[in-house]
Amino acid sequence: MSLFETELVTLDGEKTTLAQWQGEVLLVVNVASKCGLTPQYEQLENLQKKLHSLGLTILGFPCNAFLEQEPGSEAEIKTFCSTTYGVSFPMFSKIEVNGPQRHSLYAKLIAARPDTVAPENSGFAAKMASKGRAPKEYGDVLWNFEKFIIDRDGQVVGRFSPDMEPNDPRLLECIGKALGH
């Protein structure tokens, strides 16, 4: 089954697949409302507004797996995202990104890109490990706001650590290449 056939559920409870975005570049992000990285929503929304007309769509996947930093219902998540950050990009129902209940989308993303790119001198992974929060298995998502880039053909062409901000030049370069710019 291709990445585009992956079944999803929107925050509004509608069933869909990635097929409706086939031909676009996708930035897939597991998100949370009560995380130290939550302000990245602002940069993600800015990217959506700036690059959507060129073919980029950001897809947000709430996840409560990391210190229960996304405890709200789908309606609460939707309200928070729209009123706090003006999020206009598609958001989906809560999913699991690691472990035996890992959503099939994340299983495919991780299989395609098990390693992340982190900012220089990041230390984020080491910091998480020192707090006993290291990934359990190779390829696991480290924390909220990890980012995957899917090109127009459905190939996973980039994976960036949670602390890699959406406006980081390396992430933007990967998006630009996927967009053909």
pTM: 0.95
Rg for the chain, CA atoms, rounded? 15
Q: How far apart are CA 70 and CA 47, in angstroms?
A: 23
pLDDT value for 43: 97
Between residues 134 and 117, which one has the greater pLDDT?
Answer: 117
Whole-number mean pLDDT of the chain?
Answer: 94
The neighbouring-strand residues paired with 28 are 59, 148
Q: What is the CATH number of the domain that holds 124?
A: 3.40.30.10
Domain carrying residue 53: 3-179
1 pLDDT exceeds 70?
Answer: no
**pLDDT mean over 53-80:** 95
Residues in contact with 20: Cβ distance below 8 Å, sequence separation at least 6, in sequence order: none
Collapse the DSSP code of 15 into the 3-class scheme (helix H, G, I; strand E, B; otherwise coil) and give the result: strand
Q: Please, are residues 68 and 31 in contact by the beta-carbon 8 Å criterion?
A: no
Overall number of domains in the chain: 1
Which residues does the annotation mark as catalytic?
Answer: 35
